[in-house]
Amino acid sequence: MEKENKNLKIPETPPETSPASSEAALDQGVKPQEGAMEVRSDQTMEGAILRTDAENYDEPLSPSDGERIPPKGPSGGIDESECLLFTRGVTMQFGGLTAVSDFNLRLKKGSITALIGPNGAGKTTAFNMITGVYRPTQGQIFFEGKDITGLKPDAITRLGVARTFQNIRLFRDLTVFENVLIGNHLRMKENALTATLRTPFAKREEARVLEKSEALLRRVGLFELRNEKAGSLPYGRQRRLEIARAMATDPKVLFLDEPAAGMNPTETADLTEFIREIRKEFDLTIFMIEHHMQVVMDISEHIYVFDYGVTIAEGTAREIQNNNRVIVAYLGVDEDA
């Protein structure tokens, strides 16, 4: 049995990105999908396991929109019937570049799942496929037993899948409060006629949304800054505001793309606890991309590891520790060894 390597350190300098994710991507006119790898020398990886179980996927079904599908067998130890959201062999190609290959994600209801990997591994591309920014070249995506492959982002959000972004996308010139109000628009029940006539129903609906937005801002600790411009907030608070705006859509699944990026240790510790709290308080299922290993190991119940767009490992935090392929993906290999 392989000994646990508890002293494994992640160096400050990340490994070089693959040519396929840099030069080849530029040749194809594809914008880079991943941000700089943000890990510190005092961060350790606490677990790894090579995914050695043979893949045993049937031919994908092609149900009509809204048709429920029968559960399939287990993959990576998690059965599809247990999942709120799962994918079957999703692949994304840009010309001759395969950014993500045969990704089989399983998100159990109420879980916190992480997707990690070196810079340029295809993590944000996977997010973009599932949330409707990209249509997969092949494969299927299922949410609550329904095939949502190819739906547009707004339709997927209406179903209950919300996200934040690697690069913060707030309305910088609007106030903190107005940003959260915009997130509520998707769930507002009034229409143009009732709003124009200022009917009692429209007034009640507006009061409900105002109250909900206020409650969200209090929950994320930004209510006292509600009249400030979003662009004037410190970076960590902008991250919290983006999460609050996503939560205003009443999601069942929340996708967080590098939520701890740019945060200091205190902010990172606060964020870790905050994610735990909102998962419980709002009954959320959380899927996140994160380079900060301490955050990943502290709160993730299941972890997927990407390298060159391929899933090279999956398991619990403890199981990810001694996987040689994970270690090589992060640290490289000594050619002289």
Q: Which residue among 216, 248, 280 closes a domain? A: 248
Token pair 């002289």 is found at: 336
Residue 10 domain flag = no
3-state SS assignment for residue 93: strand
Tokens of 160: 């209950």
What digits encode the pLDDT tens for the residues 57-88?
333 333 333 333 333 433 456 778 789 999 99
Please count the other Cβ atoms lying within 10 Å of the Cβ belonging to residue 273.
11
Q: In whole angstroms, give the CA distance from residue 248 to residue 187.
A: 8
Query: Pairing state of beta strands 138-143 and 146-147?
Result: antiparallel
Q: Are 156 and 216 within one domain?
A: no
What digits encode the pLDDT tens for the residues 100-110?
999 999 999 99
Full domain range(s) for residue 231? 173-248
Residue 6 domain flag = no
Longest dimension (CA), the chain: 77
Give the type of residue at 247. Answer: M
For residue 84, give the CATH number of its domain. 3.40.50.300
For the chain, the domain total comes to 2
Q: Model pTM?
A: 0.72
Residue 188 domain flag = yes
What digits encode the pLDDT tens for the residues 229-259?
999 998 888 999 999 999 999 999 999 999 9
3-state SS assignment for residue 245: helix
Q: Are 27 and 148 within one domain?
A: yes
CA 92 remoteness from chain centre: 17
Q: Are 198 and 259 within one domain?
A: no
Written as tens digits, the pLDDT of the chain (337 aa) is: 444 444 444 434 344 444 344 334 434 444 434 433 333 333 333 333 333 333 333 333 333 333 333 334 334 567 787 899 999 999 999 988 999 999 999 999 999 999 999 888 999 999 999 999 999 999 999 999 999 999 999 999 999 999 998 888 898 999 999 999 888 887 767 667 776 777 776 778 788 888 899 999 999 889 999 999 999 998 888 999 999 999 999 999 999 999 988 888 888 898 899 999 999 999 999 999 998 888 998 999 999 999 989 999 999 888 887 788 888 877 666 555 5
Q: Which residue among 210, 228, 248 closes a domain? A: 248
Q: Are 27 and 147 within one domain?
A: yes
CB 271 within 8 A of CB 260: yes
CB 198 within 8 A of CB 275: no
Residue 39 domain flag = yes
CA 304 remoteness from chain centre: 12
Phi, psi at 239, each rounded to 5°: -60, -45
Beta bridge partners of 79: 74
